[in-house]
Amino acid sequence: MALKVIGSGLGRTGTLSTKLALEALGFGPTHHMVEVFMHPESVPLWIEAGRGRPDWDAIFDGYGSMVDHPGCCYWRELMAHYPDAKVLHTVRDPDRWFDSTQATIFNPDRPAPPEGTPIRPFFDQLNAWYGGDMHDRAFMTDFFRRHTEAVVAGVPKDRLLVFQVSDGWAPLCEFLGVPTPDAPFPRENSTEQFKTNLAGPREPDAMREMLEKAKV
């Protein structure tokens, strides 16, 4: 199965809601960072991709689309590897995005995996991709804007949709050429939901192990 949709938007731009929407529209399963936590056997493949030796067909075997980290870091490579795929770029207000990241995925109070653990290179590569202080508002909001500018400049207009989840079904369905569902657009993984899931029993065991024990 080749990817039909490549999500170039950064994490915390409504990517989990977008994942659910794509799956509801028939473009799933959709790869999202949560899939890495649920399938830790894929981590070595991602590390190899970060070292310039990707096996995209193995990484995305069985998936019809992808959003969120780590795939969004490789939007150029994926666009070339899957020439028929469309590019979906999720966005939101940069300052609200920064606030969300600091309360969730880039929380400065969350310790990094210890040196020597199998998951450490994976997170080191993600940090290196940003290339600066991930807790600095000015740097991160500038990165957010530059990332969007690069995507808009680098993707042919007929392959690209810049999308906010608040826009709902209409632009997404028109872009993908599918009927609009008779159901509300998904709304998942708010900051408060993220915190609750991370601390509570709903969190997948693999995610808990990787984030808290740094084991694969």
pTM for the whole structure: 0.88
Q: Where are the domains of the chain?
A: 5-213
Q: For the segment 100-135, what is each residue's pLDDT rounded down to a tens digit? A: 999 999 999 988 888 888 899 999 999 999 999 999
CATH number among 3.40.50.300, 3.30.1540.20, 2.40.160.40, 3.30.1490.190, domain 5-213:
3.40.50.300
pLDDT of the residue at 117: 85
pLDDT of the residue at 195: 42
What is the pLDDT of the chain when averaged over all its residues? Answer: 89
Q: For the segment 59-106, what is each residue's pLDDT rounded down to a tens digit? A: 999 999 999 999 999 999 999 999 999 999 999 999 999 999 999 999
Spatial strand order in the sheet of 30-31: 30-31, 65-66, 5-7, 86-90, 160-163
From the list 64, 108, 89, the residue with the least C-alpha distance to 159 is 89
* Residue 205 pLDDT grade (very low, low, confident, very high; cuts 50, 70, 90): very low
Q: For the segment 136-184, what is each residue's pLDDT rounded down to a tens digit? A: 999 999 999 999 999 999 999 999 999 999 999 999 999 999 999 999 9
Backbone region of residue 101 per phi and psi (left: phi > 0; alpha: psi in -120 to 50; beta: other values): alpha
